[in-house]
Structure 1
Amino acid sequence: MKIDWTVRVNEWVEKNREFMISLLQEMIRFKSINPNFMENPSKSESAQLQHFIEEQLVSWGLTVDKWDVYDNQPNIVATIEGKKEKESFILNGHVDVVPVGSISEWNFDPWVGEIHDEKLYGRGSCDMKAGVVSNMMVAKFMLDMGIELSADLQLHIVIDEESGGAGTRSVLERGYLGDGVIVTEPTNEKINPVEGGLQWARVVVKGSSAHTGWRYSHIYPGYERTGVNVIEKSMKIMQAVLELEKDWGLNKSHPLLPPGITTINPGVILAGSGEKDGRPETVTNPAIVPDYCVMEFDIKYLPTEISKNIQKEFEAAVHSISATDRWLQQHPPQVEWGVRGVDFPPVNTPVDHPLVSTLAKNQLRLGVNPSYEGFVAVCDAAFYAGRGIPAIIYGPNGANLHGPDEYVEVESVYEVTKTLILTALEWNGILQDDNVTCRQETE
């Protein structure tokens, strides 16, 4: 007897609508702020939230592995074991959220999960506790239906995505790998098979400290120069880097990403006199000619590019401008990579990859014409791609991520959950071939 899985999935989700949303609301009530953004990290409720999730998953019948990535910040990997006919199918989501900012700017309590006009408000509602709930419901469906899977289904429920990805990196280091992963970050239900890479770079420039009373002798001829203002030298480098950014934006492109996505953002500039622990020691006295400057850059590159080549291009711009300045020739700037551990490999999953086409086919089953975009930020999909695991990003509709009145659309949570369930079923060879084909559309 042929089972119409689309009908069955629709019926099951309809039956579990209230449970699903109440689960999301309960998760929002945990103030799981990333501790790296808190004055008192011990007040983060990530551990309490992960304990709550663990209890849910164990009660449903999943096997749970939980461990601390760092102090009181645990990861969860929950598994439904399959027949091991293929490698694991992975669903990834993070529980850490950013701070709420000024509470006065919110119209709804960020820690309640109020619903108004079919939108569920709260910090982390869209980014990305809704995605975590959808992932959990995929597992619940399999268990409720008593389905025997050909491959393990793994839920990677992690911490620290918002501050560098230590959670997912720890999952991979622990050996939880697979044949494919869907990261359920919010994408407005569009399939995101690509994501640019990201590097953080630091440029250290050194000058010569002196008293500003003698500045005239540092900048005009006829005097013995005793001071070199490092800020002035650093501005030359800054201008060269920004010119490189414009060159990239005009000459590099990807069909799924916005023009100009290859940005080089100057995010940190510290200058002063003296150096202590990699920072200027004195930054509050303009009567001193500064001699130490640190500039930090957020560098984005295309999914098709290699990080080493990006590093070479960036360093070439720094060294080329330095070659035009006598002081910088003799005191070349130092370029450091992987600042604070930030290094996101690009995601470049082909649109015709089976993981992508399977997800697209199941959107069609539900009456959604699939469309494709590139993910303009970075997320944990990068670390799977860096391990050679095909990755895509796909999640619900919502808005105001990281801002006041963040929300997720309730109906979208249901639709994403249905699509993920059908995709997991097809990945495991359970759906019968119904000759569904999909038309590829990019936006």
Structure 2
Amino acid sequence: MEKEFKEKEILKLAENYKEDISKFLRDMIAIPSESGNEKEIILRIKEEMIKVGFDKVEIDPMGNVLGYIGKGKHIIAMDAHIDTVGIGDISLWDYDPYMGYEDDEIIVGRGASDQEGGMASMVYAGKIIKDLNLYDDYTLIVTGTVQEEDCDGLCWQYIINEDKIRPEFVVSTEPTSCKIYRGQRGRMEIKVTTNGISCHGSAPERGDNAIYKMAPIINDLKGLSDNLGYDEFLGKGSLTVSEIFFSSPSRCAVADKCTISIDRRLTLGETWQSALIEIENLPSVKNAKAQVSMYSYDKPSYTGLIYPTECYFPSWMIPEDHDVCKILVNCYKRLFKDEPVIDKWTFSTNGVAIMGRYNIPCIGFGPGHEEEAHAPNEKTFKSELVKCAAMYALIPMMYVNFIQNKEG
């Protein structure tokens, strides 16, 4: 006999909680929470999880908040990073980035789409599960994770390695416009350095200008960017020179060092090793005897914990016929009586650790749109917050039912 999934009741409750979800999201937006400064928003999320009835809520040593529902054997996680980027040029905003704006359809403010909206929907999905007694043989862990904007996936490296939590799959609630996303390109942060010899600028022939050595490297990198790997689903690898630094005794001297940063996006089949070798083999790099390396990240979280990692974030993808993808498609059809769109992210997510490093299936479904991320007047859509809350409430039961049927 098929279980009762209560789709109509789930949809009705999600709609009924629209104002509660919206208020909670606006409360989060009002708390500045750039990477490394998430303490207050984490405490606010913990407060809301307790209020709606999560079975257990804890904050780990890195500062991630983890809310638990159920005590079954199947461990399912849903994740939202709750740090944001800065506000940029305030003159580009029509509204205060933290006070925000709200009408019947949208909520505006930093973090609305990227990605505190997903957090708000997850918490109220937990309340729907509680209200409708949608329990089964699962433990749902709802995570509000830190430092993603600075170092995507670092929080999940910690959760898996140190908290010793390894879910059977993870739903990322990064913005997908309520489409189902099953992969993304990876990325890495590369540093190239040339060395020279400084001298007085009035006689530059006495020195060796490190900036001049870098110029042909930049030109070669532009050419290399046209000849990178390609995957039919994830698309083409890419690179761009994102920063340039130099050292010199003064403005009246020849530069003795020059360094550039490269934002390298990796498609399937590309690795950090292959990406470094491609640059090392450029004639201009060899001629300049430049050093090519990967950046590392070792900034403390708001708790003071330092969890160093290299700045390599692998590409990942699950097949369209993967069980987890099928489950989300089935949930979508049952709730909304329509076919979902299946696609991929352009930007990077915590999936680089979850699936990219640890091969834990990761699937995306979230409120908000990618193009809103990091933009002035960032907004999300109330209808999508409601839709996602309903999906998140149904997914755990549907997953357990699928597994039990599969096992016979």
Find 1:427's aligned residue among 399, 402, 406. Answer: 399
1:3 aligns with 2:14: no
Deviation of the 1:205 alpha carbon: 1.0
SS in 1 for 2:95: coil
SS in 1 for 2:77: strand
TM-score, reference length from structure 2: 0.88
CA contact (8 A) 1:195 1:303 kept: no
Instruction: Give the direction of change, closer, same or farther, for the CA distance of 1:103–1:232 in structure 2 (3 Å limit).
Output: closer
- Counterpart CA distance in 2 for 1:422 and 1:170 is 28
Whichever residue aligns with residue 279 of structure 2, its letter is F
- Counterpart CA distance in 2 for 1:368 and 1:304 is 34
Matched with 1:167 is: 155
Matched with 2:318 is: 349
Q: How do 1:154-233 residues align onto structure 2 when only pairs under 5 Å count?
A: 154-165=141-152, 166-173=154-161, 174-215=163-204, 218=205, 226-233=206-213
1:305 aligns with 2:274: no
Matched with 2:306 is: none
Whichever residue aligns with residue 105 of structure 1, its letter is L
Higher relative contact order (CA 8 A, sep 6+): 2
- Counterpart CA distance in 2 for 1:432 and 1:121 is 42
Find 1:263's aligned residue among 238, 241, 250. Answer: 238
Deviation of the 1:91 alpha carbon: 0.2
Unaligned segments of structure 2, at least 5 residues = 298-309
Deviation of the 1:131 alpha carbon: 0.3
Unaligned segments of structure 1, at least 5 residues = 36-43, 219-225, 274-281, 434-443
1:291 aligns with 2:262: no
Find 1:388's aligned residue among 354, 359, 363. Answer: 359
Matched with 2:20 is: 19
Q: How do 1:238-257 residues align onto structure 2 when only pairs under 5 Å count?
A: 238-248=218-228, 252-257=229-234
Q: Which has the larger radius of gyration?
A: 1
Most deviating of 351-360 and 60-69: 60-69
CA contact (8 A) 2:5 2:397 kept: no
- Counterpart CA distance in 2 for 1:20 and 1:157 is 16
Matched with 1:95 is: 82
Most deviating of 19-28 and 384-393: 19-28
1:49 aligns with 2:38: no
Instruction: Give the direction of change, closer, same or farther, for the CA distance of 1:19–1:313 in structure 2 (3 Å limit).
Output: same
SS in 2 for 1:152: strand
SS in 2 for 1:8: helix
- Counterpart CA distance in 1 for 2:113 and 2:56 is 27
Instruction: Give the direction of change, closer, same or farther, for the CA distance of 1:269–1:170 in structure 2 (3 Å limit).
Output: same
- Counterpart CA distance in 2 for 1:24 and 1:81 is 24
Whichever residue aligns with residue 53 of structure 1, its letter is I
Instruction: Give the direction of change, closer, same or farther, for the CA distance of 1:294–1:22 in structure 2 (3 Å limit).
Output: same
- Counterpart CA distance in 2 for 1:83 and 1:339 is 38
* Count, aligned residues: 386
- Counterpart CA distance in 2 for 1:104 and 1:321 is 41
Deviation of the 1:200 alpha carbon: 0.6
Deviation of the 1:209 alpha carbon: 2.1
Instruction: Give the direction of change, closer, same or farther, for the CA distance of 1:50–1:159 in structure 2 (3 Å limit).
Output: same
Matched with 2:307 is: none
Deviations 1:154-187 (CA, angstroms, capped at 9, x unpaired): 1111111111134333222221211111110111
Matched with 2:295 is: 338
SS in 2 for 1:34: coil
SS in 2 for 1:178: coil
Instruction: Give the direction of change, closer, same or farther, for the CA distance of 1:15–1:187 in structure 2 (3 Å limit).
Output: same
Deviation of the 1:68 alpha carbon: 4.1
- Counterpart CA distance in 2 for 1:314 and 1:394 is 36
Matched with 1:321 is: 284
Whichever residue aligns with residue 61 of structure 1, its letter is F
CA contact (8 A) 1:202 1:339 kept: no
Matched with 1:375 is: 345
Deviation of the 1:393 alpha carbon: 2.2
Instruction: Give the direction of change, closer, same or farther, for the CA distance of 1:291–1:110 in structure 2 (3 Å limit).
Output: closer
SS in 2 for 1:83: coil
- CA RMSD, aligned part only? 2.3
- Counterpart CA distance in 1 for 2:373 and 2:70 is 34
Percent identity between the two aligned chains: 22
CA contact (8 A) 1:161 1:168 kept: no
SS in 1 for 2:320: coil
Deviation of the 1:306 alpha carbon: 2.7
CA contact (8 A) 2:55 2:67 kept: yes
